[in-house]
Amino acid sequence: MAAEQRGRGPRFRVDTLPAVYEICRLEADADVPEWVAAAPQALLSVTRTESELSIVCTGPIPAGVEHSRGWRAVRVLGTLEHTMTGVLVSLAGPLADAGIPIFAISTFDTDYLLVPGDALDQALAALGDAGHTVAPR
Predicted local confidence at residue 85, as pLDDT: 83
For residue 122, being part of any structural domain is answered with yes
* CATH at residue 45: 3.30.2130.10
For residue 80, being part of any structural domain is answered with yes
For residue 50, being part of any structural domain is answered with yes
For residue 65, being part of any structural domain is answered with yes
For residue 16, being part of any structural domain is answered with yes
> What domain count does the chain have?
1
pTM of the model: 0.90
For residue 59, being part of any structural domain is answered with yes
27-54: per-residue pLDDT in tens? 999 999 999 987 778 899 999 999 999 9
Predicted local confidence at residue 8, as pLDDT: 67
* Distance from C-alpha of 12 to C-alpha of 18, rounded to nearest angstrom: 19
For residue 2, being part of any structural domain is answered with no
Helix, strand or coil for residue 93?
Answer: helix
Contact 43, 105 (CB under 8 A): yes
Q: Which residues of the chain have a pLDDT value below 70?
A: 1-8
Predicted local confidence at residue 95, as pLDDT: 97
Range of the domain at 107: 8-134
Using DSSP bridges, classify how beta strands 13-16 and 133-134 pair: parallel, antiparallel or unpaired: parallel
For residue 24, being part of any structural domain is answered with yes
